Amino acid sequence: MEASDLAVVALVKAGDHDAFRHLVERHSRSVFRLAYRLTGHEQDAEDVVQETFLRAFREIRRFEARSSFATWLYRIAVNCSHDLLRQRPRAGSRPSLDDPDLRVAAELADLSATADPLRGLASRRIDERVRTAMRGLSDQERSAFVMRHFEGLSIEEIGRVLDLKTSAAKHSVFRAVHKLRQALEPVAELSR
């Protein structure tokens, strides 16, 4: 049976820094998923994972167990993602599927390997539409939506992560869903 997060945090606070390994091993995948959904880039998500755990290690003495360790970690990951997204335009564009040339190349590569090229093309177009719709959300809306929709956090927990009142967190989710519906309902109509 694994020690609880709080027990491991207590060990780290007491100076057993190697115990931090348990927290990293336990939460890396969920932090990666969250970071990927927020940044839309695999390498950016990896950077966020590293930076999140580094910041968590530095700040762990401030963790007071008012929320779960996972919620506290999500908060750091969300801040790291927002920091990275703010820096990205200044840092220069990273090669990604946002690049039209790379996108076409990726499409051609995928289609050549697909048994049903038309279906593959449709699927890729939907992915692209989802990406565009997600990019159309504000950082706060995207964070709130990702945590509610993909990570299953309650609206109250989302408020704690984003440092918002519950009503503000709820409205962030509402706005995000409203925008996504507008962007995706035409696609959904075709799929039905």
**Which residue from 10, 24, 60, 111 is in contact with another protein, where contact means CB under 8 A?**
24
The residue within the footprint of another protein, chosen from 60, 121, 130, 168 (CB under 8 A), is: 130
Which among 72, 90, 74 has a CA at the least distance from the CA of 38? 74
Q: Cβ(56)–Cβ(76) under 8 Å?
A: yes
Binding of another protein by 102 (CB under 8 A): no
Choices 43-51, 59-67, 92-100, 113-121 (CB under 8 A): range interacting with another protein: 43-51
Q: For residues 74 and 5, give the distance between their C-alpha atoms in angstroms, rounded to a whole number.
A: 14
> How many CB atoms within 10 Å of residue 78?
26
- Piece in contact with another protein (CB under 8 A), picked from 76-84, 86-94, 106-114, 125-133: 125-133
Q: Cβ distance 60 to 13 under 8 Å? A: yes
Minimum CB separation of residue 65 from another protein in Å reads 22
CA-to-CA distance for 109 and 19, rounded, in angstroms?
Answer: 44
* Residue with smaller CB distance to another protein, 37 or 75: 37
* From 6, 7, 25, 95, residue interacting with another protein (rule: CB under 8 A): 25
- Residue 67 vs 174, nearer CB to another protein: 174
What is the footprint of another protein within residues 150-179 (CB under 8 A)? 154-155, 170, 173-174, 177-178
Binding residues (CB under 8 A) for another protein: these are 14-17, 20-21, 24-29, 32-33, 36-37, 42, 45, 49-50, 53-54, 57-58, 123, 126-127, 129-131, 133-134, 148-149, 154-155, 170, 173-174, 177-178, 180-181, 184-185, 187-189, 191-192
